[in-house]
């Protein structure tokens, strides 16, 4: 019998409750580095990273309702007060609700590759969305990406390379939940490793 997923108001953030740009100090009740995961799935990265770095604040964005509910339930059961999760369109949310220079790191792990050519325009990492990420990043802030899709990875590198004026490539280090041979330790990564798919990673830093 499937366990009933519980909503935790202390974890779930509702877009209708937001009033303009987010004040992260007010949202979390404290100051601290802000990490945003785009496509948080069932919350594996958020759980592991928040437990490893308790002084940092984490916001997960997930569109799929079943994954969002699972992540909220999971984070809530662990009693983690440094994590919030919102179900919304990431591009719209970032453009509409994130202030300038407020984020320390964007984590984008295994985004939907939209493999069919006619669907490439739906890929999240495009020039317009990258511009919004850069606007929201603090100087020194990072964008970290992992994918199993080679074609999408090549597009991502091209998009990032076009902003060399403000972005500098840096090393991609494994996250707190990554086990031996893993980069981020998410459910998707472990599935793809079992299928012997190569994993591609890249990280960049905002230099001005």
Active site residues: 112
In this structure, are residues 47 and 120 in contact, taking their beta carbons and an 8 Å threshold? no
How are beta strands 12-13 and 83-86 bridged, if at all?
Answer: parallel
CA distance linking residue 184 with residue 105, whole number of Å: 14
Q: What is the CA radius of gyration of the chain?
A: 16
| SS3 call for 73 | helix
Beta strands in 39-162 (DSSP E): 57-61, 83-86, 103-109, 137-147
Instruction: Tell me the CB-side half-sphere exposure of residue 128, using CA atoms within 13 A.
Output: 8
Strands of the 137-147 sheet, one edge to the other: 12-13, 83-86, 57-61, 34-38, 103-109, 137-147, 200-206, 167-170
Question: Distance of CA 128 to CAs 10, 53, 112, 124, Å?
Answer: 32, 31, 17, 9
- Please list, in sequence order, all residues whose beta carbon lies within 8 angstroms of the beta carbon of residue 198, skipping any fewer than 6 positions away: 148, 150
Report which DSSP code applies to 99: P
């Amino acid at each position: 019998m499937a366990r009933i997923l519980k909503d935790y108001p202390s974890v779930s953030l509702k877009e209708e409750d937001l009033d303009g740009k987010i004040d992260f100090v007010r949202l979390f009740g404290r100051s601290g580095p802000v990490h945003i995961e785009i496509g948080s799935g069932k919350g594996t990265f958020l759980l592991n990273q928040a437990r490893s770095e308790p002084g940092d604040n984490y916001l997960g964005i997930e569109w799929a309702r079943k994954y969002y509910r699972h992540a909220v339930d999971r984070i809530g059961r662990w009693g983690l007060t440094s994590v919030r999760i919102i179900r919304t369109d990431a591009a719209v949310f970032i453009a509409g609700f994130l202030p300038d220079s407020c984020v320390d790191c964007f984590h984008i792990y295994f985004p939907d590759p939209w493999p069919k050519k006619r669907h490439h325009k739906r890929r999240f990492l495009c020039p317009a969305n990258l511009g919004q990420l850069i606007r929201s990043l603090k100087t020194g802030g990072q964008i970290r990406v992992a994918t199993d899709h080679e074609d999408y990875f090549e597009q991502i590198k091209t998009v990032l390379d076009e902003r060399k004026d403000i972005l500098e490539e840096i090393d991609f280090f494994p996250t707190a939940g990554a086990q031996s041979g893993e980069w981020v330790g998410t459910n998707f990564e472990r599935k793809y490793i079992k299928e012997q798919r190569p994993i591609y990673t890249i990280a960049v830093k905002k230099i001005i």
